[in-house]
A and B are shown apart, each in its own frame.
Chain A
């Protein structure tokens, strides 16, 4: 998926370059906070690992074989910040040394393959690990799902970049269908390999897997008279104590901006499925959607005539509703979890 020079026009290349630079800057800060002065050698060696493991061929069937892309794997093994750094450095070196991916397309490649895959994979992974029971097998399952989604997500972002600044005349819907179709298949392979690899590392050194840090059981001391003493964990990891408020606010603002303003510029033509359905006449028999009279039908707010305002408002309301439902589910799950876990002992 390495994009060459000239495939995406200059303004969008510059814009994605800015996005990539910002993401790398944030990750640099995050990695330094997590790893301190260990950041350089560790991230460097992990980048070398990603580079090497991309050369490991996994035979699919007679003659064909696939290889790992590594975004999800890096995010789960070493954390999102270091993961983004590692993949970005691999892409940079591939671009500069091996001429794999154009120099001006570096921003596109990094924001697509390094940032999207790792961030999507890690967010999904975290959510799943929170929801699933605390077991090693659920870490493996979560990494399967995270890798499975991360590859088509990158394909979607590629299509988005293409729609904004593609230099060729291939219709976006066609690119989308082709890219996502192919990458769903690639994603299945990626998911299998990633989950197997994470499982292999967890079996030997669970402490090395960043995504499985919550699994460490507190130390128990069994004394000679048969009593067991729970040793409280020494000073919980400072990273865990960090407030997520800033992240939440930034995410919310981004979602609102995207839904409210950017959505106006999205394509008004029917999406792939709707189009295929229309072309093939599949939808002739289907009745109108049950919610067609809802005030938000077709992503337009009823009784608001200005297209921009109406689409934007509908988007904002949609984000709000999704957020409310999501928060509700999250709070319920957490409450149930809290009830299940015994109250922690206080450290002396």
Chain B
């Protein structure tokens, strides 16, 4: 497990965005999403500007548009929900192409779609320009409780191990001729899940013992302290400040 954990979400490159300290990036992303959510939905053009901001950051981070768009697909379930909204919402009806749609429902759908998509795009950019470990370090720098950061880091570190274990169990099941077809086979799958839990828990105990034997006393040593200079903070703050400006203009003009 000493090998580098370059996760598939991370996209390695050398760019100004990659080199920013992680906590600046997390704070900037959060600020950006907050500004987007606070933007009034009637200011349609404002969301175009927000999208433009994201596109500029993506270009600066050398993240190709195709990569970003493919990762946006995670949003599809909510798109389906948003499409339904004009049909079920109350309020005045407008007729488009012979369909009776609720006007407020259309606004609601637009609201969720625009803000949700921009939020997803911002998180995708964050995850693809920041390594997992430095993301966790950044969260710690932002005063997230250390125990929570440790739990999250163990989850990230062992997530692939546990998933792999699950995959091996699946291969073992399938090589014995098992295919799950319906509810009748849930027992077998649940037994696998139970076995997976026992293995994970026991691995947790072993990991703990190994840590204790190396001098663990409840806190993890921080060996690569990241600090941010004023210039880096200013640089990172450009995105949320621009979004805030767009948001405020949106409030003033509508």
Name A's B-contacting residues (CB within 8 A): 4-7, 10, 13, 24-25, 28, 31-32, 37-49, 51-53, 55-61, 68, 77-78, 85-86, 88-90, 92-93, 95-100, 102-104, 167-171, 174, 192-193, 196-201, 203-205, 208
B151 touches A40 (CB 8 A): yes
A201 touches B198 (CB 8 A): yes
Within the assembled complex, what's the spacing in Å between the Cα atoms of A167 and B195?
Answer: 43
Contact digits for B134-152, partner A, Cβ 8 Å, 1 yes 0 no: 0100000000010110111
Judge whether B123 is part of the interface by a CB distance below 8 angstroms: yes
B119 touches A168 (CB 8 A): no
Contacts of B90 in A (CB 8 A): 169-171
Q: Taking A68-B193, A169-B102, A174-B88 as contacts, is the C-beta distance between A47 and B154 under 8 angstroms?
A: yes
Q: Taking A44-B152, A47-B151, A48-B155 as contacts, is the C-beta distance between A169 and B162 under 8 angstroms?
A: no
B150 touches A169 (CB 8 A): no
A129 to chain B, nearest CB (A): 19
Query: Can you spell out 28 A-B residue pairs with CB atoms less than 8 angstroms apart?
Result: A5-B37, A5-B115, A5-B120, A24-B145, A25-B145, A31-B147, A37-B218, A39-B151, A40-B147, A42-B201, A44-B153, A44-B154, A47-B152, A48-B155, A55-B163, A56-B192, A78-B201, A92-B152, A96-B26, A96-B123, A98-B74, A99-B75, A99-B121, A102-B116, A192-B186, A193-B186, A200-B194, A204-B198
A53 touches B196 (CB 8 A): yes
B183 touches A104 (CB 8 A): no
Contacts of A88 in B (CB 8 A): 148
Within the assembled complex, what's the spacing in Å between the Cα atoms of A197 and B9?
Answer: 31
Judge whether B69 is part of the interface by a CB distance below 8 angstroms: no
Q: Which of B30, B148, B200 contacts A103 (CB 8 A)?
A: B30
* Among all A-B residue pairs, the 6 with the closest Cβ atoms: A44-B154, A6-B115, A200-B194, A168-B108, A5-B119, A196-B190
B154 touches A168 (CB 8 A): no
Q: Taking A41-B204, A168-B108, A197-B197 as contacts, is the C-beta distance between A103 and B33 under 8 angstroms?
A: yes
Q: Taking A6-B112, A59-B182, A97-B9 as contacts, is the C-beta distance between A46 and B36 under 8 angstroms?
A: no
Name B's A-contacting residues (CB within 8 A): 7, 9, 26, 29-30, 33-34, 36-38, 41, 71, 74-75, 78, 85, 88-91, 102, 104-105, 107-109, 111-112, 114-116, 118-124, 126-127, 132, 135, 145, 147-148, 150-159, 161-163, 165-166, 180-183, 185-187, 189-198, 200-201, 203-205, 207-208, 211-212, 216-218
